[in-house]
Amino acid sequence: MASGDTLLIFTPQHNEPTASNAATLDTRNQHLVLDFDDTTNEDGVFRAVMPQSYAGTTGVTVYLHYAMTSATSGDIDWDVAFERVSDSIQDIDSDGFAAVNSVDNTTVPATSGHVDVVSVAFTDGADMDSVTAGDGFRMKVTRDAASDTASGDAELWAVEIRET
């Protein structure tokens, strides 16, 4: 697959809530969104199988589409991590997410309902927990609320994974 091509798209209803500090479903003008708190670091977890079209050379870039519930100033920090759940690779009784990659200090849109898109790049290999074409995996998206400055919930609207 060519660089920039879409591999996967997730929407809020794809979230598999974590046992604690899970982002929560909400609606905004009938748009289903995933709310991330501004004080506690909350997670959204999305499961998929990496498409066979993934070339496995340049890695992937994760695009987060979000809006702020009310904030029109301040910045926001996001973390993303991958967990490979392939053939006899991961005991699903426990979590095995690789280290997070981040996009930090993004100034939020000046209009709270506007959707902003930020991206987090992963190189192929350990950076994305060695997920290859055909591997099952989970991807965890976390708002680093302990570090960012924007007030109120962040509303995750969609997530796209592209070939880098």
Partner 1 sequence: MALLTTEQRDALRSAWATEQKDPVAIDKAATSTAIGEIDAWIEAQVIDAFVSMSEPARSGLTNKQKSDLFARIVAKRWEVM
Site residues, partner 1 (CB under 8 A): 37-40, 69-75, 111-112, 148-153
Half-sphere exposure of 150 (CA within 13 A, CB side): 30
Nearer to partner 1, 59 or 113 (CB): 113
Task: Supply the minimum distance, in Å, between the C-beta of residue 149 and partner 1.
Answer: 4
Nearer to partner 1, 26 or 95 (CB): 26
Q: How many CB atoms lie within 10 A of CB 94?
A: 6
Task: Supply the minimum distance, in Å, between the C-beta of residue 70 and partner 1.
Answer: 4
Nearer to partner 1, 70 or 123 (CB): 70
Q: Are 161 and 52 in contact (CB under 8 A)?
A: no
Task: Supply the minimum distance, in Å, between the C-beta of residue 104 and partner 1.
Answer: 15
Task: Supply the minimum distance, in Å, between the C-beta of residue 73 and partner 1.
Answer: 5
DSSP 39: S
147 contacts: CB under 8 Å, gap ≥ 6: 77, 104
Task: Supply the minimum distance, in Å, between the C-beta of residue 74 and partner 1.
Answer: 3
Q: Are 10 and 140 in contact (CB under 8 A)?
A: no
Nearer to partner 1, 15 or 69 (CB): 69
Nearer to partner 1, 117 or 146 (CB): 146
Q: Are 155 and 62 in contact (CB under 8 A)?
A: no
| Distance between CA atoms of residues 56 and 108, nearest Å | 33
